[in-house]
Chains A and B, each alone.
Chain A
């Protein structure tokens, strides 16, 4: 028998519009950060202002934003034992999802275009063999999984047609402490997968660059992807850290001048791309952000200590650093948007994408 209370609640739900990002203050961007000794998920406006700040159960890596509902899935850092689903309107953690036994989350996730499904990058803990987990976002129950096409998947992005591009970073890690186990034998790839897990296309780097872990991705409206790498080989080598891939073709590496590349210290922490194809890659280790044109030519380098999070915004970028500053970033330089904030963590992601 339906209770009166339940009946009324059902009626109310029918008569009210579904919650949207407007109910969470319409943030443009989401970022995790360290606040004192705790960790929070922030919703940020276009000018870098804080719209909301919600506690996280532990240090986050990246967040995945639901395309319409004000839901953010905050992934724990590797080895990822859980992800917290945060209702950004109420501030409540509505679900805590954990990978099946013997699996670990690997830091990133992406929703399907309609938001019904969440895809998560995962590994078989014992082998680092890559998987994509499939979750129904109505109640965050696990629906299944498929192979990611490589070892140690990290970032993944959903294309407009619903397919996925996965950065299989190639690094096998110890399941308990992230110790890297296979650096001499790494072989990263980029994999293009249909939403049901069919491998549609794959590309690898030239063999001399197999120790260059492909870790982060930025999508272009044309279905190509820009990718950022982290060099695990001989630190004396100066290697490309940015590339571009159109599935079905060979990847193209950026032609960054060596002296600019050297400033990155072999490490690109985040990547973003504007609609015109300009990319930004950040190196907190080198304290620098490098901008490249769509054809891979270097445009500018801007110094800022511990800069890492970056997202396309308007005609340029917004970037964050571990010192609590938010910056507008374009070819001309970095312009301070906000200071005195928390220690911004690795990634800055668009809300509602």
Chain B
């Protein structure tokens, strides 16, 4: 495949078939973080008006939807200053988030001021923290309103910082790969390598954490380990993660039909499931269906290695693939 590096700001006059990492930055990453910043800002604004969870829920759901559009991207500004975990602290097998949050709920209100709140444990911040306040499993021991406001405000600030990091620098850093002075990306292939790695690790996270952990075994399923059960998002997050990564592939290359087909198969399986919180993994039929979905995700991982990697002329890193 012939590649053309588009200089930043140059008008795109190419055929519709052109796709490479500049398209990924422009059409996938930047709009994704912008949407996350906008939806979290709306959520924070609404939380200053009301703490009624019924009124806040649609704003929360929109913000989480937007996060699912970029959550597979584990590099750049979101990795700075602990932002990624401060947005999405999950999985949390030791329930660290709930414990830290309970201390804040009953503790010194001064810790809820924006500067102080940003210093709190990442486990007590972000989308999962808000979910616990908006959809509590048991009645909360104190008025959650100040903590809801603090958490929503902090989330919006974190999202804005990440978005600003991309807009103000990191996007250009990717687009100027290989130019003198750019020591983050020494060559264009390095950019493709990093983006491919995001797909590989994003699919691994989806398979390991969102699917394999709640699936457990036939004799010992763990539906309670499903992500965001309280807000009814467990299956939706799987679907949105698949759709986001499929969109990313389409921006990287027009020539990965098997990869797209593998995504479409998994997306169709997820879309056909009628089990928002994955409760069905505890039933024989539901367990089997979910296991098949997991296999379809693992199949995507195999196909991106066999088709997309050679198409992009990349692979898993020499050391990352096979350490010791």
A residues lining the B interface (CB < 8 Å) = 34, 61, 77-78, 107, 154, 215, 230, 234-237, 257-260, 262-263, 265, 267, 269, 284-285, 287-288, 303, 305-308, 321-323, 325, 334-336, 339, 343-346
In the complex, which residues 174-196 of chain B have their Cβ closer than 8 Å to any Cβ of chain A? 183-184, 186, 190, 193-194
Chain A: minimal CB distance from B315 (Å) = 10
A99 to B74, alpha carbons, bound, how many Å? 42
User: How far is B94's CA from A313's CA once the two chains are assembled, in angstroms?
Assistant: 40
Please tell me if the beta carbons of B209 and A284 are within 8 angstroms of each other in the complex: no
Q: Is B208 an interface residue (CB 8 A)?
A: yes
Do B183 and A287 touch (CB < 8 A)?
Answer: no
Give B212 Cβ to nearest chain A Cβ, in Å. Answer: 9
Q: Are A345 and B93 within 8 A (Cβ)?
A: no
Most chain B CB neighbours (cut-off 10 Å) among A154, A215, A321: A321
Interface stretch of the complex, out of B63-71, B79-87, B233-241, B249-257: B79-87
- Point out the residues of chain B lying under 8 angstroms from A77, CB to CB: 324
Any A CB within 8 A of the CB of B152: no
Q: Please tell me which one of the listed residues A234, A285, A335 contacts residue B320 in the complex, with CB atoms under 8 A apart.
A: A285
Pairwise interchain contact A236-B186, C-beta atoms closer than 8 A: no
Contact B317 A284 (CB under 8 A): yes
A-B contact pairs, 5 of them (CB 8 A): A215-B324, A257-B122, A258-B123, A287-B197, A323-B317
Q: How far is the CB of B260 from chain A (nearest CB, A)?
A: 25
CB distance from B264 to the nearest CB of A (A): 27
How far does the alpha carbon of A61 sit from the alpha carbon of B319 in the complex, in Å?
A: 11
B310 at the interface (CB under 8 A from A): no
Query: B318 and A259: CB pair below 8 A?
Result: no
- Complex Cα distance, B318 from A323, in Å, reads 8
Q: Are B193 and A305 in contact (CB under 8 A)?
A: yes
Among residues of B, the one whose C-beta sits closest to the C-beta of A208 is B94
CB distance from A128 to the nearest CB of B (A): 14
Is B323 part of the binding interface, using a Cβ–Cβ cutoff of 8 Å? Answer: yes
**Contact residues of B: prevailing secondary structure:** helix
In whole angstroms, how far apart are the Cα atoms of A335 and B209 in the complex? 36
Q: Decide if B132 is an interface residue (CB 8 Å cutoff).
A: no
Q: Which residues on the B side are within 8 Å of A321 (C-beta)?
A: 317, 319
Given A78-B324, A336-B183, A339-B186, answer yes or no on A305-B318 (Cβ-Cβ < 8 Å). no
Considering only CB atoms, which chain A residue lies closest to B89 in the complex?
Answer: A258
Partner of B323, one of A257, A258, A269, A287: A269
Would B319 and A325 count as touching, CB distance under 8 A?
no
**Residue among B79, B81, B91, B94 with max Cβ neighbours from chain A (10 Å):** B79
CB atoms of B318 and A322 under 8 A apart = yes
Q: How far is the CB of A184 from chain B (nearest CB, A)?
A: 14
Give the CA-CA distance A344 to B319 in the complex, in Å: 8
Q: Bits for B189-224, please: 1 = Cβ < 8 Å to A, else 0.
A: 010011001000100000011000100000000000
1/0 contact string of B85-110 vs chain A (CB within 8 Å): 11000011110000000000000000
Q: Is the CB of A235 within 8 A of B324?
A: no
Q: Smallest distance from the beta carbon of B6 to chain A beta carbons, Å? A: 22
Q: Is the CB of A237 within 8 A of B93?
A: yes
Chain A neighbourhood of B123, CB < 8 A: 258
Inter-chain contact A263/B79, CB cutoff 8 Å: yes
CA–CA, A91 and B213, complex, Å: 52
Task: Select which of B86, B213, B317 is within 8 A of A305 by beta carbon.
Answer: B317
A306 / chain B contacts, CB cutoff of 8 Å: 317-320
Contacting pair A345 B186 (CB below 8 A):
no
Give the distance to chain B from A43, nearest Cβ to Cβ, in Å: 20
In the complex, the chain A residue whose C-beta lies closest to that of B193 is A305
Of the listed residues B85, B86, B91, B184, the one surrounded by the most CB atoms of chain A closer than 10 A to its CB is: B85
Closest to A321 in B: B319
**Chain B residues near A237 (CB-CB < 8 A):** 93-94
What's the minimum C-beta distance from B155 to chain A, rounded to whole angstroms? Answer: 15
